[in-house]
Copies of this chain bind each other. A is one copy, B any other.
Amino acid sequence: MNPMFFVPLAGIVGLTFVAIFAQWVIKQDPGTARMQEIASFIQEGANAFLRREFQTIAYFIVGIAVLLLIFLGWQIAVGFVMGAVFSLLAVFIGMNVATRANVRTTSAARSSAAQALLIAFRGGGTMGLSILALELLGIFGLAFLFGVTRGTPENAHLLVGFGFGASVSALFAQLGGGIFTKGADIAADLVGKVEQGIPEDDPRNAAVIADLVGDNVGDVAGRGADLFESGADNLIATMIVGLAFIPTYGWAAVLFPLLSRAIGTIGAVLGVLAVRGTEKRNPIISMNLGFLVTALFSVASFYFLGTYVMHEIRLFYCLTLGLVSAILVSFLVQFYTGITQKPVKQIAEGGKSGVAINLIYGFAWGMESAVVMIILVAVVNVIAFYVMGGGLPGIFGITAATLGITEMKGIIMAADAFGPIADNASGIAEMAGLGPQVRRAGDVLDAAGNITKAITKGYSMSCALMTSVVILFAYLLSAAELAGVGSNTLASLITFSGANPEGAVMQIVRRLSLAHPLNIAALMIGSTIPFLFSSQAMKAVGRAAFRMVDEVRRQFREIPGILTGQTVPEYSACVDLGTRHALREMVAPTLVGVAFPVAVGFLMGPWPLAFYLIGVKIIGATLAIFMFNAGGAWDNAKKYVEEGHFGGKGSESHKAGVIGDTLGDPLKDTAGPSLHILIKLQNILAITLLPLFYAYGLQWR
């Protein structure tokens, strides 16, 4: 039997379980009328946001599709639209289930912590599986349409349109959602906790519903679109690089990534099924069981893939190396952001001597964490390269390691979407005035969610950096093909045999030399773009929060009886304000994200653009990991103080902790995640437009 049948089959199995988990969640008890009312506020707000966001995106999608049709042909345009639509569809399904799972989690928490965990986790699992299944089916469908699976593998180049579509959706979803969620979060905290001294998620706070909506549109929908894109880019890039290995492995070289992803989909289903709550156990332990099942299934399947499909045991080593690095990343994140670890304790303790020292330590530990994780990725690359013996096969080793690290995506996404569901659940418990034991159960889930969110961020950034190396090779291969050199180019580009290769390849090699000033200049420009993009995202959050603070203060001032609980604040005013603002603010950074690679591609040419891109990738990843981990550590340092250390709540350390957290929030939840998307968007945009840069771009002397 042709093993390719397994690919659509795995996609269909995945979608089936999406339906099963969604139905299972919906048939759970939605709780009291008050709880349902609160949940419906959140659901309406989130849906309204998504509707308006999708509208805005739709204009861009249509506009870009027309341009692609004119300049690059129908295949790219069709792929683009499909990528965008599939991405939005996955997000829509996932968020819809999440906004139903939240209140049901709260409701279950009243009687059974285990059941609450299960609802939240399966709610998240729906998102993880719908992403995996839809990207697999979408790319497989396109590959089938373009004949990649049926005798014309070189058409794998045409798949880039799908990745580009997914990128554009993701950029908007992540930026819009990120600006919304942090604007609301900061405003709710500043006016509620700091100025009025009321608890988090207190119903008297006008921004509280906006904050809970933000969890869904930012953390669920935004991150979902982000991971959809990662997976798509990763598949497409590895397939394109596979083209260079047809002489060695035959067609399997191109189709191997699809098979590996299909395995990942099944592994994710098994992993989600393996998670079972118990009353006593820490939820993280239950989830670790899910990770373990996925990992073991994957390793076993890798062995099968390596030996029986690819007939190369060393590929099994590389795949496993990637998987192991995913686990290492998760440990590193737990060290740098974990509440019982040295960094968090030192940050918390620093606050005893003043805010400055809390901030300095958070900054310093965050920076160190980025260094360790980037060096890990560099080392994994080098090892995978040499496990295959270096040279051309070494590149395939790197490709395999990249597929290995992304293998855990489904289960990690499930654990990630679990986070905002749990967060929402404890917010609903607080707003509905449920008893302290329900809230405590919610808090336990919420704390577990914080860890899984931190892990996902570090993990997905490491995946992105690994993938970006493969994408660089895909880019260089595509460029070489445009320069009229066959797909044996990659060998000449990177191997170092004694004989001089043919002239055309040599010209490419020389154009890729670090010794050219234009390449150095492009590397400089590329390395700074993540700073520019972060700067814009942070200013947008600052403005959004600034306006929302004004609105919440206005309501407290102008509407009598809010503070005494006699009048309900106008929640929807905050949701509306945030939505309008976020959708307006997401346009300018998007234009920067698009304009720079296009300008470099045309003005400096396709080869310096490769240097530009590697700069964007490396610095984007470093900066993002710094932001994620510093933000996570600040958050947990505050929690550590709140647990009663270094003076506990109300002490100097606590004030310092709160301030550290408010700086960390936009770093970890808006600027950092947006960088993730920036990297991928620019990569895929560059590959998509490469034929235009090649034909019309300036070429240096």
Which residues of A are interface residues toward B (Cβ below 8 A)? 186, 190, 194, 350, 353-357, 359-361, 363-368, 370-371, 374-375, 377-379, 381-382, 385, 390-391, 394-395, 398, 465, 469, 472-473, 476, 490, 493-496, 500, 503, 506-507, 509-525, 527-529, 531-532, 534-536, 538-539, 541-542, 545-546, 549-550, 610-611, 614-615, 618-619, 622, 626, 659, 662-663, 665-667, 700-701
Chain A facing B: main interface SS: helix
Given contacts A496-B701, A534-B367, A659-B659, contact A469 B520 (CB under 8 A): yes
**Cα–Cα, bound, A538→B360 (Å):** 6
**Contact between chains at A360 and B496 (CB < 8 Å):** no
**Contact between chains at B515 and A476 (CB < 8 Å):** yes
Oligomer copy total = 2
**Contact between chains at B542 and A513 (CB < 8 Å):** no
CB-contact partner of A355 in B512, B513, B659, under 8 A: B659
**Contact between chains at A542 and B360 (CB < 8 Å):** yes
**Cα–Cα, bound, A510→B535 (Å):** 37
Residue picked from A355, A382, A531, A701, most chain B C-beta under 10 Å: A531
**Contact between chains at B538 and A363 (CB < 8 Å):** yes
Residues of B within 8 Å of A382, CB to CB, are 517-518, 521
**Contact between chains at B367 and A532 (CB < 8 Å):** yes
**Cα–Cα, bound, A495→B494 (Å):** 21
Residues of B within 8 Å of A701, CB to CB, are 390-391, 495-496
**Cα–Cα, bound, A350→B357 (Å):** 22
Known: A377-B524, A391-B701. 20 other contacts (CB 8 A): A190-B354, A350-B542, A354-B549, A355-B355, A360-B541, A360-B542, A363-B538, A364-B536, A370-B528, A371-B529, A374-B528, A381-B524, A398-B517, A476-B515, A490-B515, A496-B700, A496-B701, A500-B503, A509-B513, A527-B618
**Contact between chains at B190 and A535 (CB < 8 Å):** no
**Cα–Cα, bound, A378→B522 (Å):** 8
**Contact between chains at B385 and A542 (CB < 8 Å):** no
**Contact between chains at B515 and A513 (CB < 8 Å):** no
**Contact between chains at A494 and B520 (CB < 8 Å):** no
**Contact between chains at A390 and B512 (CB < 8 Å):** no
Give the Cβ gap from A487 to chain B, nearest Cβ, in Å.
14
**Contact between chains at A395 and B514 (CB < 8 Å):** no
Give the Cβ gap from A185 to chain B, nearest Cβ, in Å.
10
Residues of B within 8 Å of A700, CB to CB, are 390, 496
Residues of B within 8 Å of A494, CB to CB, are 513, 515-517
**Contact between chains at A528 and B361 (CB < 8 Å):** no
**Cα–Cα, bound, A6→B567 (Å):** 85
**Cα–Cα, bound, A524→B363 (Å):** 20
Nearest B residue to A356, CB-CB: B662
